[in-house]
Amino acid sequence: MQKEYRLRRRNDFRRVFRFGTSAANRQFVVYISPRQAGAGSLSGPRIGISVSKKVGNAVVRNRVKRLVKEVTRHWIPDLKEGTDVVIIARNPAATMDFYQVESSLRHVFRRAKLFRKNTRDCRRGEIV
């Protein structure tokens, strides 16, 4: 994921947690908040990932983060612009493979209405 699409600062995470809305399933929780004026140079979405120590050791947590980053990297053009997104991985995400992570995140992103209207899913060709 490119730098301009990353959510990194603690204050940005806090703002999304405090003022954002959430959607969840068993594997992931997603918080969404519209971006403040002047925060970030691009209008595209910014994505932050959080994996608790409860999920596993450092190797497991980093693997989950890499999988989530790779899935969301492909979706950046299809996500609503001007939004900040925080993805929190729950414990079941530690044992998932790439396609399971992709399916689970797609489900949560649809519940959160993060996809723009009439965008095509890359893998299946379906309208989101």
Q: What is the pLDDT of residue 118?
A: 66
Per-residue pLDDT of 59-102, as tens digits, reads 999 999 999 999 999 999 999 999 999 999 999 999 999 999 99
Q: What is the pLDDT of residue 4?
A: 87
Q: Which domains does the chain have, with CATH numbers?
A: 3-111 (3.30.230.10)
Residue 119: burial class (beta carbons within 10 Å; 0-12, 13-18, 19+): middle
Structure tokens at 118: 């009439």
Per-residue pLDDT of 8-41, as tens digits, reads 999 999 999 999 999 999 999 999 999 876 655 5
Given a contact cutoff of 8 angstroms between Cβ atoms, the answer to whether 27 and 96 are in contact is yes
Adjacent-strand bridge partners of 47: 6, 85
- Report the C-alpha gap between 102 and 34 in whole angstroms: 23
